[in-house]
């Protein structure tokens, strides 16, 4: 009887752990940490950007329309005009040359799923391919 109670308690604790782990609000935790360290100072915690200067990432149509450019922009930065949600921005974005391809994929996946965004998953292989097409070219 005592053994059955012990097994029941162990099962209950294991089940709770699995359930609470599955309910993680941030599926791309590593991407979130990288975003906080490399992107948040300009695009801010909730991805709203800086009015008239730095484009938002939250609800940004650009992320969906230009998904093949995101890895290049993160790695090499960006100069020139960009239109996001019908608004033009022209602030230079600094490159993040030290980020690994896998880290760029993690950042993109976090951004694509954060703040109500639903822009899909990108694999490391897709990031590697995208970076081959823009290598040594500041965007």
CATH number of 28-134: 1.10.760.10
Cβ(64)–Cβ(119) under 8 Å? yes
Alpha helix (H) residue ranges in 26-93:
29-38, 40-43, 61-65, 70-76
Q: Is the pLDDT assigned to residue 43 strictly greater than 60?
A: yes
**Integer Cα distance of 82 and 92 in angstroms:** 10
pLDDT tens profile 107-117: 999 999 999 99
Comparing CA positions, the residue from 117, 138, 120 lying closest to residue 69 is 138
CA angle 107-34-61, nearest 5°? 35
Mean pLDDT taken over the chain: 86
Q: Which pLDDT score is estimated for 17?
A: 46
Query: In whole angstroms, how far apart are CA 83 and each of 56, 90, 93?
Result: 11, 9, 14
Q: Which pLDDT score is estimated for 137?
A: 61
Comparing CA positions, the residue from 99, 134, 94 lying closest to residue 110 is 99
Cβ(107)–Cβ(31) under 8 Å? yes
Stretch 110-125: mean pLDDT, rounded? 97
Query: Domain residues of the chain, as ranges?
Result: 28-134
Cβ(109)–Cβ(31) under 8 Å? yes
52 or 126, which is more confident: 126
**pTM given for the model:** 0.79
pLDDT tens profile 6-32: 554 555 565 444 444 445 566 799 999
- Residue 86's CB is within 10 A of a number of other CB atoms, namely 6
């Amino acid at each position: 009887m005592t053994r059955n109670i012990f097994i029941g308690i162990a099962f209950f604790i294991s089940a709770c752990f699995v359930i609470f782990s599955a309910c993680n609000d941030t599926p791309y935790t590593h991407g979130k940490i990288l975003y906080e360290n490399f992107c948040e100072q300009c695009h801010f915690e909730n991805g709203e950007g800086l009015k008239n200067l730095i484009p938002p990432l939250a609800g940004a149509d650009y992320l969906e329309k230009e998904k093949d450019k995101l890895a290049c922009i993160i790695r090499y930065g960006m100069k020139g005009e960009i239109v996001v949600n019908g608004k033009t921005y022209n602030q230079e974005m600094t490159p993040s040359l030290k980020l690994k391809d896998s880290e760029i994929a993690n950042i993109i996946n976090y951004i694509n799923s954060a703040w109500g965004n639903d822009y899909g998953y990108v694999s490391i292989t897709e990031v590697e391919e995208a970076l081959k097409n823009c290598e040594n070219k500041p965007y």
